[in-house]
Amino acid sequence: MKRSHYFIAVPLTSEAKQAISRFSGDASSSLPFRTWVHEEDYHITLAFLGDVPPGKMAPLCEAMAAVAAKSAPFSLALAGLGTFGERTAPRIFWQGVKEEAALNELRRDVYEACLSLGFSLDRRPFAPHITIARKWQGEAPFQPEALRSLPAASTVFSVPEIVLYRTNMEKTPKYETIAAFPLLGAPDGRSG
C-alpha cells in the first residue's frame, strides 16, 4: 500500500488562488518550469509531517484544534516573487506574502505541537511562500532579475483556519483536505 504524506497549512481564499492563477498563466509563457501548480493546490505550509501513523491521527487533530482555538483570524497580503534551489536552475518558483507576526506565531505553535507529538520536522527557518511552479527547464540559465519585471499577484486575503492536508500524487489537484481547524482566538490578544 502506498504511503500518504500529510502537512498542516494555511489555505488560500478563492480570490487569492484566482489572482495567483492569473499571474501564473501569464508567467508560464515566459518561464519554462516543468510543472505549474494547480490553482486548488495553492497553500502556505506550516509543518510537513510525512507519514502519519493511524494512532497519531487523533492526537494530531486534537493538538491542531487546540492551537487553532487560541489563535485569532488574521489577514495576509501577497507580495514578492522568488525561487528556492540553484540560482540558475531553481527547483521552486514561489509567490511570497508580506511579513505578518500572526502567521509567524501560528507557525511556531503548530511546529511546537507537532514536535511534541514526535514528528520529525524540517529545521530550516520558516520562509512563508506559495509554490506556483517546480523545476526549471529552460535551455538558458534562469535569470533571477527577470522576476522584477513580472506583474506578481497582489491581493489581501483572510486566514480563518488551518488545514490538515493529504497528498495524492496520482490526482490533480493533489492535496486533499482531511480536517480544518477554525482560528477561534480573540483578535485583541493571544492566550498562552
* Residue among 144, 153, 137 nearest 18 (CA): 153
**pTM, full prediction:** 0.93
Catalytic residue chosen out of the listed positions 129, 134, 162, 163? 129
pLDDT averages per 10-residue partition of the chain, 192 residues: 84 96 92 96 97 93 97 96 95 96 98 96 94 95 89 93 94 94 79 42
SS3 78: strand
Catalytic residue among 17, 20, 23, 43: 43
- pLDDT tens digits for 46-73? 999 999 998 999 999 999 999 999 999 9
In the residue annotation, 5 being an active-site residue is answered as no
- Give CA separation, 172 vs 15, 38, 167, 176, in Å: 20, 7, 10, 10
**Is 38 known to be catalytic?**
no
Q: Which residue has the cell 493571544?
A: 190
What is the C-alpha separation between 156 and 58, in angstroms, rounded?
A: 33
What per-residue confidence (pLDDT) applies to 191?
A: 44
Map out the domains of the chain with their CATH numbers: 5-182 (3.90.1140.10)
pLDDT (0 to 100) of residue 2: 60
* AA identity, residue 79: A
- The CA distance from 95 to 132, in Å, is 7
Dist CA 130 CA 94 (whole Å): 5
